[in-house]
Amino acid sequence: MAHLFLLKPDFFDKNMDADAKYYCPYCAQVLGILTYYPELKEKLDISFIDFERPRKVIVDLVGEENQGCPNLILEKKEFKGLEKLDYINEHGDYYFINKALLITRFFSDIYGIGVPH
């Protein structure tokens, strides 16, 4: 099963305004697609994680340099042949996509949902 990591909303960023709560607009974009196509939720293991780094659960799978969110991580043994897609990244035993529009492109290519107009 594909594992989608999204940041929890209303996080604080100690490097920004200390009183402001934030959300990730890219995670919100992917979450919006899941609202349009709720059948995707059955195909994904979705985790909402904290903003703070390091994001150990992601680092353990695809490395510290690839811990950005949103992040869709796929086991190579389950999703064979994805390296043919030019937007797929690889790290060890995993493929990953950590850009919102490319994640939604994957959803279209693999799960057959609509494409952006």
For the entire predicted model, the pTM comes to: 0.96
Q: Tell me, what's the pLDDT at 18?
A: 80
CA 3 to chain centre: 8
Kind of pairing between the strands at 44-49 and 2-7: parallel
Q: What are phi and psi of 9, to 5 degrees?
A: -75, 165
pLDDT tens figures, 42-91: 999 999 999 999 999 999 999 999 999 999 999 999 999 898 999 999 99
CA 112 to chain centre: 18
